Amino acid sequence: MSNERDSKAAAGGWAALVAVGRALRREGTLTAGRALLHTNQPDGFDCPGCAWPDPRHTSSFEFCENGAKAVAWEATDRTIDAAFFARHTVSELRQQSDHWLEAQGRLTQPLRYNRASDRYEPIAWDEAFALIASQLRALPSPDAAAFYTSGRTSNEAAFLYQLMIREFGTNNMPDCSNLCHEASSIGLPQSIGVGKGTVTLADFDCTGAVFSFGHNPGTNHPRMLATLQAVARRGKPIVVFNPMRERGLERFRSPKEPAAMLTGASTELATHYFQPRIGSDPLVLQGLMKRLLELDREAGGQLLDHEFITTHTNGYALLREQLESLDWPALCSGSGLSMDEFTTAAEVYLGADSVIAAYGMGITQHRHGTGNVQQIANLLLLGGHIGRPGAGICPVRGHSNVQGDRTMGINERPPADFLDRLEQATGIRAPRESGCTVVECIERMLAGQIRVLISMGGNFAVAAPDPEATHAALGRLDLLVGIHTKLNRSHLLHRGESLILPCLARSDRDVQAGGEQFVTVEDSMSMVHASRGFRKPVSPQLLSEPAIVAGIAQALLPGSPLRWAWLVEDYDRIRELIAEVVPGFGQFNERVRSPGGFHLRNAAAHREWQTVTGRACFIPFAGSLEQAPAAYPLRLTTVRSHDQYNTTIYGHDDRYRGIRGRRDVLFISARDLETLGLAAGTRVDVIAAAGGRERRLPGLELVEYAIAPGSLAAYYPEAMPLISLEAHDPTSRTPAYKSTWVRLTPSASADLAPAGP
């Protein structure tokens, strides 16, 4: 039985509707309001908010509070034009907050930086393309350029972009995935042969239990709350492992249910909420698996799926050996969980006939991110919970098309067979050497090896770790190009040439020579569907992302075997190429026109293991966990507030965590406050020993919070100066944004606080 009860504190509810109204008022109600009605509809556009799938794309209000904020922010009536840039020098703009920069509105025309005036000034599109082409051609090698992608880019734009980059001659395609789920993309293929999630929404409809690790759906994928609510209402357990108490994992009231809204009834979500220490997930997962093995042995081997283990996997003996060698006191003290808690979690797992494990950035953004992901796969394999109904692994993706961009070949380490097919279908020659991830890209920019950076969306300067290193790296470039919808810090840190190229957004109508176009995206569960903008572009000078790629390609690659302009006249032509190159996209144009789109087959979900051994692999955790350096006993994680989208700061509240009008806070447990002799409300400096020296973040205010002892949390990106470039997972190069060893000291002066709203 799901436990309905009255609670003002549930996630969702009236406060969510009020927040939607506020976002709409702020951005100009009419267009943004109309945009909402088109969001995630069968003939509408895909919400740029998150990658959680939609149930059949049929309900009339398939958006959520944070989706509404994302749409309102994008479909705003505010614009910035040449007059704006004439008023502000780049030096002045650099002094503004990230919030202010984006809040000025949509970009409206291509711009080029003029060093003499320290201003961006209008440039014609053709001149911009010619400038890019001449700078790229002047490089000593194509590998002296890098091409960043953020995950809002459509399949069509991403496919053309990687095609142009490869024809030019490099695989330097760092992308936001490198900062996000790269540990899944690297770790899961080794475990189960596929780097994507194996479940669909239908699996949630019949699952026996959901295990959630390190993600915050109430804020970051709110449409998942309805999915979890349905699980809870079927009386199935939801087991959470998260150092912080997150409201959205505890209770939910759906704004789509009038009766619940009126009576205030909400649904309890998590049946079990465990709060391990930050960074202790390997111990949590190993402890849980060790307990499973113990209970299974006590029951005469009846509890785990030994038949599955024997017929479908290898590595079990090695895993068992490792788990047996671990001792309980170390697992408990390291994770902060008690033996009873491990037993309870193991019993829930064993009591469920099918288990889904969902996880997010709390798992991937660690030095051992890949190992974490593989322990989750191990956990599922023990019970045979991959490749049958109601069971599987669910990496909750970030950006709405980050998964699709990878499918389309935005990949610095492309598989050889992808390149073979690409060459065959297009007549280009694709380079075979691996390119760079974001972290490697910054290293090479610092070393002067990468001289040009082109960004398709995103905010490289603020999303990447170590602002000192990243900003210095951007300052060394000969040319920086940003293809963006809004102004952000990445446009302001260059010392060489810089161009801003404004593009259409998801909600904008896209008309090419062949008429009105739609694009396609792939969600977290491998559903590919169409997205059609409806809004009149804010300026006639905006080009679509595919058109911008084609413009650069035509200037850069005069002898190209491809007819770039012809391809973008009608995106069906791009999709025909995709159908030839990308597995699973046969008859793309027909299939994507059926309502709701189509599902990409996932081999692991059918127990076909595309691993080296042809079986699913148990991969024991390799290496040891980092110990706290002397004098830096606390561990800091960085999280998103409820009022932000990555580097886009919509507002300064974090409603579910009780924060209003500010972001300069440090979440700390009551126990640590007591141990440190500090009171909530005190301002402290956070000091990290990172990259061989001390880094200091001054003036955060302590907020007492239900967070595991020894663990601290601050907001991303404010806490970024504490994170060094060296702090990353050596396997996937994902930055360790979620675990920095720190100490605290009371701030000498309160006015060191970072700027408020």
Ligand X SMILES: Nc1nc2c(c(=O)[nH]1)N[C@H]1C(S)=C(S)[C@@H](COP(=O)(O)OP(=O)(O)OC[C@H]3O[C@@H](n4cnc5c(=O)[nH]c(N)nc54)[C@H](O)[C@@H]3O)O[C@H]1N2
Contacts to Mo ion by CB under 5 A? 180, 398
Is 410 an interacting residue with respect to ligand X (CB under 6 A)?
Answer: no
Q: Is 524 in the site for ligand X (CB under 6 A)?
A: no
Please give the torsion angle defined by the CA atoms of residues 187, 193, 195 and 201, in that order, rounded to the nearest 10 degrees.
-120
484 near ligand X, judged by CB under 6 A: yes
Angle in degrees, 0-180, between the axes of helices 65-74 and 29-38, rounded to the nearest 10: 130
Size of the chain in residues: 757
| Identified binder of ligand X from the candidate list 90, 180, 337, 439, rule CB under 6 A | 180
> Which segments of 213-272 does DSSP mark as H helices, in order?
217-220, 223-233, 247-250, 258-263
Among 39, 512, 524, 646, binds ligand X (CB under 6 A): 646
Among residues 219, 375, 470, 544, which is the contact residue for ligand X, using CB under 6 A? 219
For the bound state, the minimum distance from the C-beta of residue 724 to ligand X, rounded and expressed in Å, comes to: 12
Give Rg (Cα) of the chain.
25
Beta bridge partners of 313: 616
Helix (H) or strand (E) holding 392: strand 392-395
Minimum distance from residue 301 beta carbon to ligand X (Å):
30
Report the SS3 class of residue 200: coil
Least spacing, CB of residue 340 vs ligand X, in Å:
19
The H or E element containing residue 157 is: helix 155-168
Of 37-66, which residues contact ligand X (CB under 6 A)? Answer: 49-50, 66
Q: Which of 102, 466, 478, 523 binds ligand X (CB under 6 A)?
A: 102
Q: How far is the CB of 598 from Mo ion (least distance, A)?
A: 25
Alpha-carbon gap, residue 361 to 359, rounded angstroms: 7
| Bridge partners of residue 638, in order along the sequence | 714
> Is there binding between residue 488 and ligand X (CB under 6 A)?
yes
- Cα–Cα distance for residue pair 647/664, rounded to 1 Å: 15
Residue with smaller CB distance to ligand X, 111 or 304: 111
3-state secondary structure 327-352: CHHHHHHHHCCCHHHHHHHHHHHHHC
**Of the two residues 66 and 198, which places its CB atom closer to ligand X in the complex?**
66
Query: What does the alpha-carbon distance between residue 657 and residue 648 come to, in Å, rounded to a whole number?
Result: 19
Q: Is 278 in the site for ligand X (CB under 6 A)?
A: yes
| 279 lines the binding site for ligand X (CB under 6 A) | yes
H helices present in 326-414, as ranges: 328-335, 339-351, 361-364, 369-382, 402-407
> Could you tell me which stretch among 424-432, 446-454, 481-489, 742-750 binds ligand X (CB under 6 A)?
481-489
12 binds ligand X (CB under 6 A): no
Q: Which is nearer to ligand X, 483 or 557 (CB)?
A: 483
Is there binding between residue 520 and ligand X (CB under 6 A)? no
426 binding ligand X? (CB under 6 A)? no
Nearer to ligand X by Cβ, of 139 and 224: the residue is: 224
- Write the CB contacts of 415 (distance below 8 Å, at least 6 apart in sequence): none
| Residue range at the interface with ligand X (CB under 6 A); choices 22-30, 133-141, 285-293, 482-490 | 482-490
Kindly tell me which residue out of 169, 193, 237, 457 binds ligand X, with binding defined by CB under 6 A: 457
Which single residue is written with the structure tokens 């201003």?
A: 119
Half-sphere CA count of 722, side-chain side, radius 13 A: 31
Options 236-244, 259-267, 328-336, 423-431: segment touching ligand X (CB under 6 A)? 236-244
Shortest separation between residue 172's beta carbon and Mo ion, angstroms: 20
Q: How far is the CB of 359 from ligand X (least distance, A)?
A: 8
Size of the site for ligand X (CB under 6 A): 62
112 binds, among Mo ion, ligand X, none (CB under 5 to 8 A by kind): none
- Asked if 576 and 588 count as a contact pair (C-beta separation under 8 A), the reply is yes
Taking CB under 6 A as the binding criterion, the range among 109-117, 333-341, 376-384, 646-654 that sits at the site for ligand X is 646-654
Cβ atoms of 502 and 539 within 8 Å: the answer is yes
Minimum distance, C-beta of residue 176 to Mo ion, in the bound complex (Å): 6
CA angle 513, 519, 522 (to 5 degrees): 165
Q: Taking CB under 6 A as the rule, does residue 444 contact ligand X?
A: no
Q: 536 in the Ramachandran plot: left (φ > 0), alpha (ψ -120 to 50) or beta? A: beta
Residues in the site for ligand X, rule: CB under 6 A? 49-50, 66, 102, 150, 152, 176, 179-180, 213-216, 219-221, 241-244, 246, 278-279, 281, 360-363, 365, 398-399, 456-460, 463, 483-486, 488, 503, 505-506, 545, 637-640, 644-648, 716-717, 720, 723, 737-739
